[in-house]
């Protein structure tokens, strides 16, 4: 519905979602909504401001079909019923119940984008973008990080593993009956993957694994860990990937539960004390694991970028609601220019990031993804998430500082997003090298 000034007053037209009462009011007195070509009345201005929420702040995506919109609607109903009412309590408790996984599997969330032969559901990049948006709307990052951790642990198996491994591992994971995590980061290093130190020495038909991994999302619950190990010499050429069962003798783990954010996500340090792993558990070829790791990163970074932009929109929504309700010095916060400019800047940066996400997903759909572009997208998304969290916190004031609201949680969770999946510094350097500098 287009609303604005009468034709004789100018060509200002603003598109907004409105209710039937406003439509009637406009039809009865359209001129009352605009005093001159450059200034809306206070009432109409307030309506425009209030319309700026999580959904209306999403710029149009021409690739979305009725099927995509139906998926968003079904997913939102599930999240509103099964996650949103409990997320805050789960975050404070430091974990989510095991029963959530089968429920998520039943609506197709866990299997989205995976092969049908293993219980998956066909999907494209736009379905995945919707998933990251809707889960981020909850405003509790640890829930989605833990619930969807198979998104980084399972692809190495499906993309590079032998057929028996795919058939044994994927179906129970996609049904929400078992869990799989990704083991890359070590106590002695994170971003420097090529120089990892966990070793796997071959002895007959087994590898003997020694070392440890840390900051492993889902590590306390995982039945399996897709693990990066050193099977050869120094550098990337000596890295392999192994699928390690967590019930193997010599495997142990300890929780990392004193975190700045992602409280609802179980995070662990894993220990491998001469763990014997069958050679058949090799993912890909020996000493070619670095390629497996690198191809996994693009999808992880795209998912994180989509989520971070959505977290920024959550902050925008909370800031707008408070700015239109809270009054200071005899008027709404939203009537103070400094506050309006904060909100406008948030929207400006979110618009740009959404367009960038769409560009990268378009390249993926076309089969021409650019790792440098994706790396810089992750940087932009984390910077925008941080900006929006900060500005929303400033607008909410003391309310934003109190536990139990989405802005407070998102503010705490900025850093894990800016570091996990490749830090901002590493991403910029990766992009520069991709561009041939």
CA proximity to 302, closest of 83, 434, 124: 124
**Residue 31's pLDDT is what?**
39
- Is the pLDDT at 161 greater than 90, yes or no? yes
Q: What is the DSSP string of 186-252?
A: BTTBSS-GGG---EEEEETTEEEEEEEEEEEETTTT-SEEEEEEE-SSSSGGGEEEEEEETTSTTEE
364-409 residue pLDDT tens: 999 999 999 999 999 999 999 999 999 999 999 998 899 989 999 9
**Residue 192's pLDDT is what?**
80
Q: Packing angle between helix 289-325 and helix 42-50, nearest 10 degrees?
A: 150
Domain span(s) for CATH 2.40.110.10 in the chain: 180-287
d(CA 77, CA 100): 15
Task: Please state the CATH superfamily assignment of the domain spanning residues 180-287 in this structure.
Answer: Butyryl-CoA Dehydrogenase, subunit A, domain 2 (2.40.110.10)
Domain span(s) for CATH 1.10.540.10 in the chain: 66-174
106-121 residue pLDDT tens: 999 999 999 999 999 9
- Is the pLDDT at 189 greater than 80, yes or no? no
| List of residues 6+ apart from 154 with CB closer than 8 A | 114, 169, 170, 173, 174, 180, 226
Domain span(s) for CATH 1.20.140.10 in the chain: 291-434
Q: Packing angle between helix 289-325 and helix 337-365, nearest 10 degrees?
A: 150
Mean pLDDT of 257-267: 93
- When mean pLDDT is compared over 2-6, 293-297, 414-418, the highest value belongs to 414-418
SS3 at position 62: coil
Structure tokens that stand for 404 in this block: 């139990």
**Residue 13's pLDDT is what?**
30
pLDDT range class, residue 130, cuts 50, 70, 90: very high
pLDDT range class, residue 193, cuts 50, 70, 90: confident
Burial class (CB in 10 A: 0-12, 13-18, 19+), 416: buried
Structure tokens that stand for 423 in this block: 């830090």
**Residue 37's pLDDT is what?**
35
Burial class (CB in 10 A: 0-12, 13-18, 19+), 271: middle
Count Cα neighbours of 189 within 13 Å in the Cβ-side half-sphere.
10
Mean pLDDT of 38-62: 68
d(CA 175, CA 228): 25
pLDDT range class, residue 437, cuts 50, 70, 90: confident
pLDDT range class, residue 294, cuts 50, 70, 90: confident
| CATH code of domain 66-174 | 1.10.540.10
Structure tokens that stand for 214 in this block: 């840390």
Topology given in CATH for the domain delimited by 291-434: Butyryl-CoA Dehydrogenase, subunit A; domain 3 (1.20.140)
- Is the pLDDT at 23 greater than 90, yes or no? no
What is the DSSP-derived secondary structure letter of residue 1?
-
């Amino acid at each position: 519905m287009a609303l604005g000034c009468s034709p004789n007053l100018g060509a200002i037209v603003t598109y907004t979602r409105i209710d039937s009462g406003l439509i009637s009011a406009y039809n009865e007195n359209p001129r009352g909504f605009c005093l001159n070509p450059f200034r809306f009345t206070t009432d109409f201005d307030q309506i425009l401001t209030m319309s700026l929420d999580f959904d209306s702040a999403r710029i149009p995506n021409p690739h979305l079909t009725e099927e995509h919109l139906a998926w968003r609607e079904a997913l939102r109903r599930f999240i509103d019923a099964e996650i949103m009412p409990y997320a805050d309590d789960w975050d404070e408790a430091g974990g989510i119940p095991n029963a959530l996984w089968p429920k998520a599997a039943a609506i197709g969330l866990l299997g989205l984008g995976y092969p049908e032969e293993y219980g998956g559901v066909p999907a494209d990049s736009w379905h995945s973008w919707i998933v990251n948006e809707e889960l981020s709307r909850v405003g509790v990052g640890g829930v989605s990080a833990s619930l969807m951790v198979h998104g980084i642990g399972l692809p190495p198996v499906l993309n590079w593993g032998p057929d028996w491994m795919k058939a044994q591992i994927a179906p129970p994971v996609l049904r929400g009956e078992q869990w799989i995590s990704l083991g890359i980061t070590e106590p002695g290093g994170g971003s420097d993957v090529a120089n990892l130190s966990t070793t796997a020495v071959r002895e007959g038909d087994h590898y003997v694994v020694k070392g440890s991994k840390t900051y492993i999302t889902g590590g306390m619950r995982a039945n399996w860990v897709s693990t990066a190990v050193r099977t050869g010499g120094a550098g990337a050429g000596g890295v392999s990937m192994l699928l390690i069962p967590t019930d193997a003798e010599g495997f142990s783990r300890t929780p990392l539960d004193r975190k700045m954010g992602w409280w609802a996500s179980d995070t662990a340090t894993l220990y491998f004390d001469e763990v014997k792993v069958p050679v058949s558990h090799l993912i890909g070829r020996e000493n070619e694991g670095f390629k497996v790791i690198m191809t996994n990163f693009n999808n992880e970074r795209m998912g994180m970028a989509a989520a971070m932009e959505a977290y920024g929109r959550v902050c925008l929504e909370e800031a707008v609601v408070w700015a239109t309700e809270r009054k200071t010095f005899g008027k709404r916060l939203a009537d103070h220019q400094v506050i309006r400019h904060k909100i406008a800047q948030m929207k400006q940066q979110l618009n740009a990031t959404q367009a960038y996400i769409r560009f990268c997903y378009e390249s993926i759909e076309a089969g021409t993804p650019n790792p440098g572009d994706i790396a810089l997208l992750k940087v932009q998304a984390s910077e925008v998430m941080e900006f929006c969290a900060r500005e929303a916190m400033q607008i909410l004031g003391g309310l934003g500082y109190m536990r139990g609201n989405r802005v407070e949680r998102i503010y705490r969770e900025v850093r894990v997003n800016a570091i996990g999946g490749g830090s901002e510094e590493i991403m910029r350097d990766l992009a520069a090298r991709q561009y041939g500098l």
